[in-house]
Amino acid sequence: MRAEVITVGDELITGLVVDSNSAYLGRRLTELGFRVVRMTSVGDGPEEIRIALQQVSSDVAVVTGGLGPTPDDRTKEVFAEVVGRRLVLDEEVLEGIRKRFAHRGMEMPRSNVRQATVPEGSQVLPNRWGTAPGLHVKADGRHFFLLPGVPREMRGIFEESVVPILRKLSGRAINFVLLRTTGISESALCEKLSDLDLDKVAFLPGLEGVDVRVMWEEGEDPTQLIEEIRRRAGQFVYAEGEERMEEVVGRLLKRRGWRIATAESCTGGLVGHRITEVPGSSDYFERGVVAYSNRAKVELLGVPEELIRRHGAVSPQVAKAMAEGVRERTGV
């Protein structure tokens, strides 16, 4: 079955906000067995939204954004017009929005009433993360899913309510495994694997390395291919699946019972930030020192001034001295 994604919002087409919804939905729809044929981003203008909806030609269309309480949130109204449905007030949805505001000790603004209107015949998809519910509408032989544009709300509704519907529609699933590598370029990695059957392999380069994705359908066995890729990539593979590098580091530190301290300069605390973003990092993260200036390197980490003069602040010699200094002061 074919699927497409429409994301709505001036903030997306002007570059003020990165459209993470399209990437997420493209990946998830593919995993659920759909062939994603088109992704469209449009602004908040009713004519742009109308044209995008009229051009839908797939079995499934997921539309995000434009379901808020303000006048520039027009997706639902334009959609109802395009499919020829009346907007009706859903009292159950309205009561849920009122209760959400009351729980926060606030009175619901009148503008939020419009979030409780739904195209006639819609299936309401509950939103436990915000006020705008998702909607499932069957029209013109297609399945439309209207979801909030806020990524957290969109993903919550999608996983909780949309995925079960899509599984029944698809009748098939695409499986995949992700091997994460670092320290090797995409071209060098591809050369190592060049004589393998790579029809179902994708190379996904990023800032931290290259992910290798192997996809297969139910009934196929990719075990031999995955193991061969892992063997050839060898030491460059640091994780399998969605595990981030800082999570791998934390897991290895905990397994060995080690603790870590950081001494940073140009990174300005980024390494420490990445490490402490992982829940439970207090078990192994001792402290971090940001010694940006030369004076800080000398006073906080004991780096010899002569070493900085001779080699420069940004040099392997000074970096080594910073690491030794923080280790001496923390005992890690």
Whether 225 and 264 map to the same domain: the answer is no
Distance of alpha carbon 193 from alpha carbon 179, whole angstroms: 13
> What does the block give as tokens for 18?
């990165």
According to the model, what pLDDT value does residue 220 have? 87
Same domain, yes or no: 165 and 22: yes
Q: Does an H or E element contain 46, and which?
A: helix 46-54
pLDDT digits (tens, 9 = 90+) for 40-87: 999 999 999 999 999 999 999 999 999 999 999 999 999 999 999 999
Q: Is residue 56 located within the same domain as residue 110? A: yes
Q: Which of the four pLDDT bands, split at 50, 70 and 90, describes residue 12?
A: very high
Predicted TM-score (pTM) of this structure: 0.65
Q: Are residues 125 and 257 in the same domain?
A: no
Are 215 and 266 in the same domain?
A: no
Note whether 39 and 134 are same-domain residues. yes
* Residue 131 belongs to domain with CATH number: 3.40.980.10
Tell me which residue of 123, 118, 130 sits closest to 156, measured CA to CA. Answer: 130
Same domain? For 181 and 68 the reply is no
Q: What distance in Å separates the CA atoms of residue 98 and residue 109, rounded to the nearest whole number?
A: 9
Same domain assignment for residues 31 and 149? yes
Q: Which of 225, 240, 255 is the last residue of a domain?
A: 240
What's the CA gap between 63 and 8, in Å, rounded? Answer: 7
Range from 14-18, 69-73, 134-138, 170-174 carrying the lowest mean pLDDT: 170-174
Q: Which long-range contacts (CB under 8 A, 24 or more apart) does 266-273 make?
A: 266/292, 266/314, 268/292
- Domain end position, chosen among 190, 217, 240: 240
Same domain, 21 and 148: yes
Residue 109 DSSP label: P
Cα–Cα separations (whole angstroms), residue 10 to 65, 66, 83, 121: 10, 10, 23, 29
Integer Cα distance of 144 and 3 in angstroms: 10
pLDDT at 151: 94
What range does the domain containing 312 cover? 246-330
Pure H helices in 65-104: 75-83, 91-103
Helix (H) or strand (E) holding 202: strand 201-205
Q: What is the dihedral of CA 284, 247, 236, 225, to 10 degrees?
A: 140
